[in-house]
Amino acid sequence: MRRSNFQTACKWRDCVAAAGLPGFHFHDLRHTGNTLASRTGASLADLMARMGHASTRAALIYQHTAKERDEHIASGLSEQIKKGRDRARSGHGQRKKR
């Protein structure tokens, strides 16, 4: 089915306007789906397979840094620093004196 036939057959513009999404394109569904998939922690290889892309460059277009993911990464880094600091305070990882 061609884009022009699809849009006419399903009355795409009328449907997205009724949903409060004027200007929303069918391809936006693909973009949204793959962006959400990337937020689950899917690897780049996983996303490439889902999208049918052969190059990482094409697959990377669909990945966006989400605020929630950035906060998760920052929290993980803070936790690692805290563990390292706690280990140092308890004497773990220190060299024994001879």
Q: Which of 39, 38, 40 is nearest to 53 (CA)?
A: 38
Residue 32 inside a domain? The answer is no
Residue 38 inside a domain? The answer is no
Residue 5 inside a domain? The answer is no
Residue 74 inside a domain? The answer is yes
Mean pLDDT of residues grouped by 10 in the chain (98 residues)?
82 92 89 84 88 84 68 89 85 62
Q: Which domain holds residue 90?
A: 65-98
- Domains contained in the chain, number: 1
pLDDT at 81: 93
Six-digit token string for 68: 């929630």
Residue 60 inside a domain? The answer is no
Residue 28 inside a domain? The answer is no
Q: Which of 50, 75, 48 is nearest to 59 (CA)?
A: 48
pLDDT at 8: 86
Six-digit token string for 64: 């966006």
Residue 54 inside a domain? The answer is no
Residue 37 inside a domain? The answer is no
pLDDT at 15: 92
